[in-house]
């Protein structure tokens, strides 16, 4: 019974220690500010994704307008 308690405590401490380094350090921010790290850095890919979204959702613009979604333009 003691070995189970000790092993559970060790696992708990390891899980808490794994969360101790969340976040970005100041010296790592230059790497994240690189334009290659953008979600959609390429304008051609972005326009292609916008076209697909428009075709499927029957909306345009800010992606917040309500529509039927039938796909008929």
Q: In the prediction, which pLDDT does 69 show?
A: 54
Q: Which two tokens stand for residue 6?
A: 């000790």
pLDDT in tens, 6-65: 999 999 888 888 776 777 888 888 888 887 777 766 778 788 878 887 777 665 555 454
pLDDT at 61: 56
pTM, full prediction: 0.30
Q: Residue 18: exposed, middle, or buried by beta-carbon count in 10 A (0-12, 13-18, 19+)? A: exposed
């Amino acid at each position: 019974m003691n070995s189970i308690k000790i092993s559970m405590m060790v696992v708990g401490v390891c899980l808490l220690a794994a969360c101790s380094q969340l976040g970005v350090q100041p010296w790592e921010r230059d790497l994240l500010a690189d334009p290659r790290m953008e979600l959609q850095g390429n304008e051609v890919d972005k326009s292609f994704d916008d076209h697909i979204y428009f075709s499927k959702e029957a909306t345009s613009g800010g992606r917040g307008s309500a529509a039927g979604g039938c796909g008929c333009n």
